[in-house]
Amino acid sequence: MHRIIKPISLSRERTTRFMAGAGLVGILAMAPTFSVAHLEDRIVAVVNSDLIMLSDMKREFEAEQARLSRQHEGDELAQRLKTAEYMALTKMIERRLQLQEAKAKKVEVSEQEVKQAVEQMKQEGLASELSNPQYARTVRDQLILMKVVDREVRSVIMVGESEMKRYYEEHLNRFALPEEYMLSQILILPRGSDEIADALTKVRRASEELKRGEKFEDVALEFSDGPNASHGGRLGWVRQGDLMPVIERAITPLVPGGISDVVQSSEGFHIIRLEEKKPRQFRPFEEVKREIRGLVFEQKSEDMYQSWLADLKNKAYIEIKF
């Protein structure tokens, strides 16, 4: 059976659950890594009573500037840098507004919470310097932002049963199970590049016998080089998507009992019979209910967050001098 299954490619992905869940991804990029002693400083934005200085924006923008400079040049680089600068400034303004709101709501973060966050980041393999005042302040600000968003946005969100059912119905394909096929095959394996012609002759003879009405099991036993030849070439149940693409295309038009034409793959020559087909099914609502609750919650959180942020901007005095 393994000879018609496409190889599975596995990738190892490093998890950063704490940072992703806590919104701490990117903290390192926000910590200063260069001196601005000789930078001509000036105000680039006023956010209520707070000032954003050019040096602040340069620190925010430094990592993205380096990335863009490696990938682009000339006029394109200049345009992309200009856009990225405004995006960086926008993010800074939004962050200041949220920190101001946190202060007004008396949202605070303890020294112990900051230390725990930094230690967790170290365990995730991220270098950190708690002794650096700017770094510690950046971590503190991020923790405050998380708290204020949790309090003002996420804590007030409710997900009802009707919302989950509506999401399930509107995104039914997300919860689909692939079709399954019961297959049998005759597999002819060339022993080397000089035996391809002989293998092709052999598989054509097998195909001709099938067309004359010979039983598939008997032909498989006589001709097949596959490991299941003694069992009539029976492969068992295989899921859609697990097959080699060339095999998938060959069986797609078949009805149960149908036999494919000769199919050539990287393994050799195949003749496939479709024994049975299980139509695509869907995971029941109760089985995916918890997953849906999380999806709907995150969707509502994002919508409410954007609305809350827009309200902060509408009520604020913001002047851009950049």
Task: Determine the Cα–Cα distance for residues 76 and 270; give it in Å rounded to an integer.
Answer: 52
**Which one-letter amino acid corresponds to residue 290?**
R
- Cβ neighbours of residue 135 under 8 Å, at least 6 residues apart? 27, 31, 128, 129
21-26 contacts: CB < 8 A, separation 24 or more? Answer: 22/117, 22/142, 22/143, 22/146, 23/142, 23/145, 23/146, 23/149, 24/117, 24/121, 24/139, 24/142
For the ranges 67-81, 111-125, 164-178, 286-300, which has the lowest average pLDDT? 111-125
The pLDDT score that the predictor gives to residue 192 is 73
Give the pLDDT of residue 78.
93
8 A C-beta contact, residue 203 and residue 260: no
Condensed to tens digits (0 to 9), the pLDDT of residues 204-226 reads: 999 999 999 999 999 999 999 98
Torsion, Cα 312 313 319 322, to 10 degrees, reads 120
Query: What confidence category does residue 146 fall into, taking pLDDT thresholds of 50, 70 and 90?
Result: very high
How far is residue 26's CA from residue 9's CA, in Å, rounded to a whole number? 29
Q: What is the mean pLDDT of residues 243-248?
A: 92
Tell me whether the CATH fold assigned to 17-152 matches the one assigned to 179-279. Answer: no
pLDDT for res 36 = 41
The tens digit of pLDDT for each residue in 74-94 reads 999 999 999 999 999 999 999
Query: Is the pLDDT confidence value at 268 over 70?
Result: yes
pTM equals 0.65
In the chain, domain spans = 17-152, 179-279
Give the C-alpha distances (Å, rounded to integers) separating 59 from 37, 51, 53, 56.
12, 15, 10, 5
Distance of CA 223 to the CA centre of its chain: 45
Q: What is the third-level CATH fold of 179-279?
A: Chitinase A; domain 3 (3.10.50)
Q: What is the pLDDT of residue 128?
A: 59
Q: Which of 17-21, 68-72, 95-99, 268-272 has the lowest mean pLDDT?
A: 17-21
Architecture of domain 17-152: Orthogonal Bundle (1.10)
For 7-38, write each residue's pLDDT tens digit.
333 333 333 333 333 333 343 334 443 334 44
Higher-pLDDT residue of 194 and 170 is 170
Distance CA 111, CA 108 (A): 10
State yes or no: pLDDT of 107 exceeds 70: yes
